[in-house]
């Protein structure tokens, strides 16, 4: 059967795939939006479009990632449930409920292939609460396919590099609907892809060889473009401040409704939304339409949820007060801590002097927005392998420094966003004052500073600055303190000073000092002039010794 897809054009599907699609468990995805919040109407395509050929979103709840990323953590804070786990449950339910195992056998497939499909989605996790991992030890943890087919596990959800068809599809759809250019050239990448046997390491030791999907070394920039596209989509859509606020409001409505809105489940038993994650019958009936169920209900217990949703529809959203860059890694749970610190940073008297009302923690929401390349602070390309034109059967890693000096030195940043539930001007002014006060006190003030007028130019002389830096660091150490050496990005100037100090005080080579600092701060990269001066500095120290 041929489907006409708005993004990929005409797609021909195997008869067995059509059997899977024509089921209630699959068709429910037509009623779940891929993008949770309401930014603009054109982004409202459903997961049904995204799921064909993947099966990964079968376990998504209402409003996609909002359900497992925001709603479930609030109502079941101890749960580690993710939509991939529900995808396994729903796949089993889909096959059993529609008698598809018999259909699969007609095409030479059996229970082992079902295991393989599940492993493609969630990995070889031992149980539902275990985080999926890509095995790197001697043992092969997958059951669906032998180790000789290891590369197959990199196609749907690649837990190594993150380069997989799941991303390609939602990148294409989201860019298409949002009007954002997609600079990743999928078909060029596919032209150069090969399966090559590579060395796999565990704790810096080569433990075995595995077949891995690799591409030409000249394609490394194309892959960086893919992750850049991901970052842009998060900034402009997924974690746009208005989207975040709307998702927060929808989450609050769902939380308020959870105890009172029941879904018919297995054997006719009615369960809460938060409990439907364990009941495939109830989960099949759980879609975005839950909002309409809340709005149309005459149950007085749902009034709070109805009021919140009415504000969303009328665009009377919670107000964005301000944002700042996080100075250290944060989790979503840190939002509550920061909110408490903000409220405690000012007394009622402080606000009364300015004619402003006091606010409580109930009035403020602190959201943590994270932007990365999919591997937290790591560069995902570090896990990829590339072959050359001259040697197409051997693949190796490509260091970022070999690609371009203009690539990002840091692969993760976070923003702290402050939102106020109240919308009157005095309350918003008070919220801003709380936020400004917290920002001014979040960083300790009992610092002693030394500002060095050092430019990131190869011709800049290190010797003209280093003696002052060394004296400052030694004085701090003798006073029982520690020193943070920093510049704009923490890449060239600050690392040069730190390297010089380590070389001198620990009597080690530049190479050893560089390796040591690289482990604690991977982004260091002194300019070539600084590296040359550091080599001369080491040589002079050796002569003096």
Active site residues: 83
Least Cα distance to 397 among 378, 416, 382, 415 occurs for 382
Buried residues in 439-469 as b, exposed as e (16+ CB within 10 A): eeeeeeeeeeeeeeebebeeebebeebbeeb
Query: 202 - beta bridge partners?
Result: 205
φ and ψ at 419, to 5 degrees? Answer: -125, 140
- Contacting residues for 271 by C-beta, under 8 A, at least 6 apart: 262, 263, 265, 279, 282
CA end-to-end span of the chain, whole Å? 79
Least Cα distance to 338 among 350, 358, 322, 353 occurs for 322
How far apart CA 183 and CA 175 sit, in angstroms, is: 10
How far apart CA 370 and CA 535 sit, in angstroms, is: 38
Least Cα distance to 56 among 80, 91, 23 occurs for 91
SS3 458: coil
How far apart CA 272 and CA 258 sit, in angstroms, is: 6
Sign of the CA dihedral with 322 first, then 326, 327, and 330 last: positive
How far apart CA 157 and CA 195 sit, in angstroms, is: 17
- Token readout for 69 is 């990323």
How far apart CA 44 and CA 246 sit, in angstroms, is: 14
- Token readout for 38 is 């309401």
């Amino acid at each position: 059967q041929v489907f006409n897809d708005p993004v990929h054009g005409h797609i021909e599907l195997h008869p067995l795939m059509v059997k899977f699609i024509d089921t209630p468990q699959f068709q429910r995805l037509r009623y779940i939006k891929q993008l949770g919040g309401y930014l603009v109407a054109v982004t409202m395509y459903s997961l049904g479009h995204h799921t064909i050929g993947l099966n990964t979103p079968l376990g998504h709840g209402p409003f996609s990632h909002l359900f497992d990323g925001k709603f479930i953590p609030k109502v079941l804070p101890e749960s580690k449930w993710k939509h991939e786990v529900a995808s396994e449950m729903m796949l089993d339910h889909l096959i059993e409920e529609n008698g598809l195992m018999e259909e699969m056998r007609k095409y030479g497939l059996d229970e082992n292939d079902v295991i393989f499909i599940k492993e493609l989605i969630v990995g070889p996790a031992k149980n539902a609460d275990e985080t999926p991992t890509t095995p790197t030890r001697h043992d092969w943890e997958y059951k669906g396919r032998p180790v000789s087919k290891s590369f197959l596990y990199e196609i749907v959800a690649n837990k190594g590099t993150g380069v997989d068809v799941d991303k390609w599809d939602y990148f294409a759809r989201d860019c298409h609907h949002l009007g954002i250019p997609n600079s990743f050239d999928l078909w060029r990448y596919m032209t150069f892809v090969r399966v090559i046997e590579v060395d796999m390491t565990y704790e810096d030791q080569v433990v075995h060889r595995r077949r891995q999907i690799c591409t030409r070394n000249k394609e490394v920039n194309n892959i960086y473009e893919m992750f850049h596209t991901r970052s842009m989509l998060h900034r402009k859509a997924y974690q746009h401040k208005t989207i975040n606020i709307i998702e927060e409001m929808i989450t609050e409505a769902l939380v308020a409704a959870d105890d009172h809105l029941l879904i018919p489940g297995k054997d006719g038993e009615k369960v809460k939304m938060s409990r439907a994650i364990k009941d495939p019958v109830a989960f099949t009936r759980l879609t975005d339409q839950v909002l309409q169920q809340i709005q149309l209900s005459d149950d007085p217990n749902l009034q709070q949820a109805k009021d919140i949703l009415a504000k969303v529809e009328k665009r009377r959203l919670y107000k964005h007060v301000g944002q700042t860059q996080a100075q250290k890694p944060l989790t979503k749970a840190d939002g509550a801590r920061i909110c408490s610190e903000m409220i405690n940073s000012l007394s009622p008297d402080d606000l009364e002097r300015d004619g402003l009302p006091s606010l409580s923690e109930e009035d403020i929401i602190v959201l943590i927005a994270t932007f990365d390349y999919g591997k937290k602070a790591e560069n995902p390309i570090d896990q990829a392998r590339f072959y050359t034109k001259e040697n197409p059967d051997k693949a190796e890693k490509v260091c970022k420094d070999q690609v371009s000096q203009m690539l990002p030195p840091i692969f993760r940043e976070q923003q702290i966003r402050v939102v106020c539930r109240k919308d009157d001007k005095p309350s918003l002014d008070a919220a801003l004052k709380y936020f400004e006060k917290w920002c001014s006190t979040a960083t300790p003030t009992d610092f002693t500073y030394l500002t060095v007028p050092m430019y990131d130019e190869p011709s800049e002389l290190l010797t003209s600055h280093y003696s002052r830096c060394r004296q400052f660091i030694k004085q701090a150490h003798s006073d029982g303190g520690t020193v943070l050496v920093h510049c704009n990005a923490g890449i060239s100037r600050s690392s040069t000073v730190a390297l010089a100090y380590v070389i001198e005080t620990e009597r080690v080579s530049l190479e050893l000092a560089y390796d040591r600092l690289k482990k604690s701060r991977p982004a260091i990269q002194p300019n070539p002039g600084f590296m040359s001066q550091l080599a001369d500095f080491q040589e002079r120290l050796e002569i003096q010794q």
